[in-house]
Amino acid sequence: MYSNKVLDAGTPARTSPTSVSLQIDGVPVTVPSGTSIMRAAIDAGVKVPKLCATDSLEAFGSCRLCVVEVEGKKGYPASCTTPCEPGMKVKTQSKKLADLRRGVMELYISDHPLDCLTCPANGNCELQDMAGVVGLREVRYGYEGENHLVAQKDTSNPYFTFDSTKCIVCSRCVRACEEVQGTFALTVEGRGFGSKIAAGPTNFLDSECVSCGACVQACPTATLMEKSIVDQGQPDHAVVTTCAYCGVGCSFRAEMKGNEVVRMVPHKDGKANHGHSCVKGRFSWGYATHPDRVKKPMIRAKITDPWREVTWEVAIAHAASEIQRIQAKYGRGSVGGITSSRCTNEEVYVVQKLVRAAMGNNNVDTCARVCHSPTGYGLKTTLGESAGTQDFDSVDHTDCVIVIGANPTDAHPVFASRMKKRLREGAGLIVIDPRRIDLVRMPHVQAQFHLPLQPGTNVAVLNALAHTIVTEGLAKEDYVRARCDVVEYEKWKAFIALPKNSPEAMAEVTGVPAADLRGAARLFANAPNGAIYYGLGVTEHSQGSTTVMAIANLAMLTGNLGRPGVGVNPLRGQNNVQGSCDMGSFPHELPGYRHVGDPAVRDLFANAWGVPIDSEPGLRIPNMFDAALDGSFKALYVQGEDIAQSDPDTQHVLKALEAMECIIVQDIFMNETAKYAHVMLPGASFLEKDGTFTNAERRISRVRKVMPPLAGMGDWEVTMALSKALGYPMHYDHPSQIMAEIAALTPTFTGVSYEKIDQLGSIQWPCNEAAPNGTPIMHETEFVRGKGRFMITEYVATEERTSRKFPLILTTGRILSQYNVGAQTRRTPNKVWHGEDVLEIHPHDAESRGIEDGQKVSVVSRKGDTTLRAVVTERMQPGIVYTTFHHPESGANVVTTENSDWATNCPEYKVTAVQVSKVAAPRSTWQQGFDSFAGQQESLLPKGGG
């Protein structure tokens, strides 16, 4: 029978330069100093019985099941809380110890419902196991004494239950919530026999709990139990795979019953998550088998026609003939494709290959265009490589963190927990964000500086920080002179020292007091190890690339690159943003960020692919829309990306989609873009295919098929079929062969293979001859470009300005329970936390407009208007409002503008001048049009679903 038990050494591993030798049951062992007897006993081949200890948590020593005897010492110490000492002689088994342990178990069992046979944890319960281990045969106290067996079950959380009748008050859950997750949602109430676990004043749903699952994972009994296990029973096998949500890239064991997932368990050996998870990866996977999944290919001539279900062959042949017809009529460059950061590296690679080799142009772009394209440009220019510099473990060594334009507790929760742990240990924190995000003040975490800047002034703030460091003599001159281009540095230094960049001059622009800017600069510059973490609040601006370069400047200036605890760390939004960029889905770059204008690079790919490669860069996504509207771009193949919802200035996007003659959408759901499509190709979820994702640390991890594709084909197979129908057959029997081709053609990937990933668990690129096992930390001895390059970062205000008509700035972001366009998370019980997008507004702005909390308000910009429910909150500062874009019917992007980053065209989602006012109508004009179009499109679907 399958066992989902993984070795639990009882207490965390210790690292120490010194070691201790001792004997356990006569077996000599040597362990790092600080190791518990319980953990050392594993090395001696002994598993000491335990209940309150687990190796993900510091020992607590409450159950007394793990008692041992130590020669020369009185009493029976708990092995979990007793550190090894040199020369100790420990006995783990004796008649006395057996009696003591049986006594402990008797007490627990006398207050425990004896329903093991019908308990969902049967066969996977530590209490049950330990009763067996200590040889409990009878309970002398009987079962009739005072007990907790009538307590009510708390089923309020959508994903797990809390049945306190089964609780042994070991506090593993409380400690997991504190130590691993850092939320402090649980407490032990009362004392002695009356003590019990409590989540908030009423229940889990109303508590501070963020449903990360750490307590459920830690619970040794069925007290905290996944509802899926209660419903479906224990799994019969498990497959290790990678979460398909955010760029943390957590590793999970998909626990299966046949072809059905019954539970996703965070994988202890996962190097990005070390056994932790967030609500999305842990629980929100039910969308994969949601009835809305598109399972059959469909085609139609016009978007007002009903969809017709057809075979794969017919759909692919139709799509190919349309592309060929359009190219014959409008030219080779009239078609293109968009890759997806939600798909695997291998799928992205074959889509860009299809565009370049089968369509014969470079019109391929990726959804990273609208999120992290400035990261690629900014870091390549300054450091020489388009990627973050560290691994996540690096944060354990940092002394001061700058978090700018990122909200990790919502968008990168597992990494945020890790960061919070380091902050609780005493690292300094500077938050640069217009909103008072949770990190600013949480249990046992408080930012030394929150710089609540005006949206659009990141560069001004970073320049002011750098100005302070330079003019106060805090720069690490030795580091800079050894590692960076000194001529460029001197030019930059003269620029940054100008009075216009001083905190005093910038205070007016940024809205941040000069004293805070100076204080934050000193804190960061004086920290032995300073690390910068950033997100889309940096990139999605008209100066996105400039901001990334200003971040790199700051890191070089303070000597904070090339070792653990430092670095420039872009937190990637979607699971495979890093990978989709690496795989050559930008219109000017082949895989490995090599420009299509370079003849040697083109020759390499032309020889491998057997076709010439166009030397002209292709169209970026916004240029595709413009070209569609001017009539020169007529067909688009979009894999796994919902441009109609996610891209800015929705009305412009929709007009562009309407102007095209053939839109081919490949997705797991009928998304917003599919409403404008002519060919619908069913996609496969991450559970249905093999491949790899690359996370924000450049970590390549395996995605493994746990069930067959619902529509019969993996996404890479569909792209291959389309390419063949276009006259360019590709030949891969398995995604591992695609990776082999990537490795053969990409210098940073030459050492990557599925075999090596399987062997190492995951690999951080570059992985090649110079770094056969990958590269956790980049730029250690020199920068990839040789000398680091300081770039002049002149602050230029965005053209998007407030005015009398549009006096507020709207900024957008995401929240914990939803993901991106919400296509997945909206189809899970996560709706309970976020059923609609709302507008956060400061009480002053609300009051001056007569707006009350919960009222519907109109949000109008120069581009469009929508209606949202107001949430009045002091998280916002006056003059700034905030919303999310997880629900298509909200139309957040109807309001955002076409402004974009000067270098990469990444849209300026974060700054839109708006007016907000009370409205009587619940839906704006645009929303009413959306509703009626959605209804019409719904009626065109085949009856019984696609």
**How many angstroms separate the CA atoms of 566 and 406, rounded?**
17
For residues 51 and 406, which CB has a smaller minimum distance to ligand FES in the complex? Answer: 51
Q: What is the 3-state secondary structure (H, E, C) of 856-892?
A: EEEEEECCCEEEEEEEECCCCCCCEEEEECCCHHHCH
Instruction: Please state the φ and ψ torsions of residue 563, each to the nearest 5 degrees.
Output: -155, 170
Partner whose binding site includes residue 168, from ligand FES, ligand SF4, none (CB under 5 to 8 Å by kind)? ligand SF4
Shortest Å distance, C-beta 54 to ligand FES: 9
Shortest Å distance, C-beta 79 to ligand FES: 6
DSSP 681: E
Shortest Å distance, C-beta 32 to ligand FES: 20
50 binds ligand FES (CB under 6 A): yes
The amino acid occupying position 354 is L
Shortest Å distance, C-beta 123 to ligand SF4: 17
**How many angstroms separate the CA atoms of 584 and 933, rounded?**
36
Nearest to 802 by CA among 704, 881, 688, 697: 881
For residues 97 and 414, which CB has a smaller minimum distance to ligand SF4 in the complex? Answer: 414
Partner whose binding site includes residue 447, from ligand FES, ligand SF4, none (CB under 5 to 8 Å by kind)? none
For residues 51 and 371, which CB has a smaller minimum distance to ligand FES in the complex? Answer: 51
Partner whose binding site includes residue 224, from ligand SF4, ligand FES, none (CB under 5 to 8 Å by kind)? ligand SF4
**How many angstroms separate the CA atoms of 62 and 50, rounded?**
10
Partner whose binding site includes residue 414, from ligand SF4, ligand FES, none (CB under 5 to 8 Å by kind)? ligand SF4
Contact 502, 467 (CB under 8 A): yes
167 binds ligand FES (CB under 6 A): no
Partner whose binding site includes residue 80, from ligand FES, ligand SF4, none (CB under 5 to 8 Å by kind)? ligand FES
Partner whose binding site includes residue 63, from ligand SF4, ligand FES, none (CB under 5 to 8 Å by kind)? ligand FES
Shortest Å distance, C-beta 102 to ligand FES: 15
For residues 167 and 262, which CB has a smaller minimum distance to ligand SF4 in the complex? Answer: 167
| Stretch (H or E) spanning 470 | helix 458-471
Nearest to 188 by CA among 221, 156, 177: 177
51 binds ligand FES (CB under 6 A): yes
Shortest Å distance, C-beta 65 to ligand FES: 5
**How many angstroms separate the CA atoms of 370 and 905, rounded?**
8
Residue 154, beta-bridge partner list: 162
Instruction: Please state the φ and ψ torsions of residue 9, each to the nearest 5 degrees.
Output: -80, 0
For residues 249 and 333, which CB has a smaller minimum distance to ligand SF4 in the complex? Answer: 249
For residues 53 and 583, which CB has a smaller minimum distance to ligand FES in the complex? Answer: 53
Shortest Å distance, C-beta 252 to ligand SF4: 7
Contact 440, 467 (CB under 8 A): no
Q: For residue 185, how many C-alpha atoms fall within 13 Å in the half-sphere facing its CB? A: 21
Contact 570, 246 (CB under 8 A): no
Q: Taking contact as CB under 6 A, which single stretch among the options 51-59, 114-122, 195-203, 223-231 is the one that binds ligand FES?
A: 51-59
Q: Which of residues 345-384 bind ligand FES (CB under 6 A)?
A: none
For residues 182 and 378, which CB has a smaller minimum distance to ligand SF4 in the complex? Answer: 182
> What one-character-per-residue DSSP string does 399-463 give?
SEEEEES--HHHHSHHHHHHHHHHHHTT-EEEEE-SS--GGGEETTEE-SEEE-PPTT-HHHHHH
Contact 348, 338 (CB under 8 A): no
Shortest Å distance, C-beta 197 to ligand SF4: 5
Q: Which of residues 52-91 bind ligand FES (CB under 6 A)?
A: 52-53, 61-66, 78, 80
Partner whose binding site includes residue 64, from ligand FES, ligand SF4, none (CB under 5 to 8 Å by kind)? ligand FES
Partner whose binding site includes residue 176, from ligand SF4, ligand FES, none (CB under 5 to 8 Å by kind)? ligand SF4
Supply the Cα-derived Rg of the chain in whole angstroms.
29
**How many angstroms separate the CA atoms of 395 and 532, rounded?**
10
For residues 51 and 815, which CB has a smaller minimum distance to ligand FES in the complex? Answer: 51
Shortest Å distance, C-beta 278 to ligand SF4: 3
Alpha-helix runs per DSSP H in 542-678? 544-557, 577-582, 599-609, 621-629, 643-646, 650-659
**How many angstroms separate the CA atoms of 679 and 664, rounded?**
5
Shortest Å distance, C-beta 222 to ligand FES: 19
Query: How far, rounded to the nearest angstrom, does the alpha carbon of residue 624 sit from its chain's CA centroid?
Result: 28
Residue carrying structure tokens 């059923």: 835
Q: For residue 459, how many C-alpha atoms fall within 13 Å in the half-sphere facing its CB? A: 24
For residues 55 and 614, which CB has a smaller minimum distance to ligand FES in the complex? Answer: 55
Partner whose binding site includes residue 51, from ligand FES, ligand SF4, none (CB under 5 to 8 Å by kind)? ligand FES
> What one-character-per-residue DSSP string does 919-944 give?
-SSSS-HHHHHHHHHHHHHHHTSPTT
664 binds ligand FES (CB under 6 A): no
**How many angstroms separate the CA atoms of 478 and 769, rounded?**
31
Partner whose binding site includes residue 173, from ligand SF4, ligand FES, none (CB under 5 to 8 Å by kind)? ligand SF4
**How many angstroms separate the CA atoms of 687 and 290, rounded?**
13
**How many angstroms separate the CA atoms of 383 and 729, rounded?**
38
For residues 60 and 637, which CB has a smaller minimum distance to ligand SF4 in the complex? Answer: 60
Q: For residue 157, how many C-alpha atoms fall within 13 Å in the half-sphere facing its CB? A: 28
How many positions of this chain bind ligand FES (CB under 6 A)? 12
Using omega within 30 degrees of 0 as the cis cutoff, is the peptide bond preceding 766 cis? yes
Shortest Å distance, C-beta 55 to ligand FES: 11
Which positions touch ligand SF4 (CB under 6 A)?
Answer: 167-173, 176-177, 181, 183, 185-186, 197, 199, 209-215, 218-221, 223-224, 243, 245-246, 248-250, 273, 277-278, 280-281, 412-414
Instruction: Please state the φ and ψ torsions of residue 529, each to the nearest 5 degrees.
Output: -125, 120
Partner whose binding site includes residue 61, from ligand FES, ligand SF4, none (CB under 5 to 8 Å by kind)? ligand FES
For residues 108 and 625, which CB has a smaller minimum distance to ligand FES in the complex? Answer: 108
Partner whose binding site includes residue 387, from ligand FES, ligand SF4, none (CB under 5 to 8 Å by kind)? none
Shortest Å distance, C-beta 216 to ligand SF4: 6
Shortest Å distance, C-beta 246 to ligand SF4: 3
Tokens of 506: 């910038």
**How many angstroms separate the CA atoms of 228 and 406, rounded?**
33
Contact 686, 709 (CB under 8 A): no
Q: Taking contact as CB under 6 A, which single stretch among the options 49-57, 253-261, 570-578, 878-886 is the one that binds ligand FES?
A: 49-57
For residues 121 and 512, which CB has a smaller minimum distance to ligand SF4 in the complex? Answer: 121
For residues 61 and 829, which CB has a smaller minimum distance to ligand FES in the complex? Answer: 61
**SS3 assignment, position 260:** strand
Partner whose binding site includes residue 451, from ligand SF4, ligand FES, none (CB under 5 to 8 Å by kind)? none
Contact 509, 801 (CB under 8 A): no
**How many angstroms separate the CA atoms of 444 and 270, rounded?**
27
For residues 179 and 393, which CB has a smaller minimum distance to ligand FES in the complex? Answer: 179
Partner whose binding site includes residue 169, from ligand SF4, ligand FES, none (CB under 5 to 8 Å by kind)? ligand SF4
DSSP 436: -
Partner whose binding site includes residue 707, from ligand SF4, ligand FES, none (CB under 5 to 8 Å by kind)? none
Nearest residue to ligand SF4, scored by beta-carbon proximity = 281
For residues 76 and 926, which CB has a smaller minimum distance to ligand FES in the complex? Answer: 76
For residues 224 and 664, which CB has a smaller minimum distance to ligand SF4 in the complex? Answer: 224
Tokens of 313: 């062959």
For residues 54 and 900, which CB has a smaller minimum distance to ligand FES in the complex? Answer: 54
Instruction: Please state the φ and ψ torsions of residue 400, each to the nearest 5 degrees.
Output: -155, 130
| Interface with ligand FES (CB under 6 A) | 50-53, 61-66, 78, 80
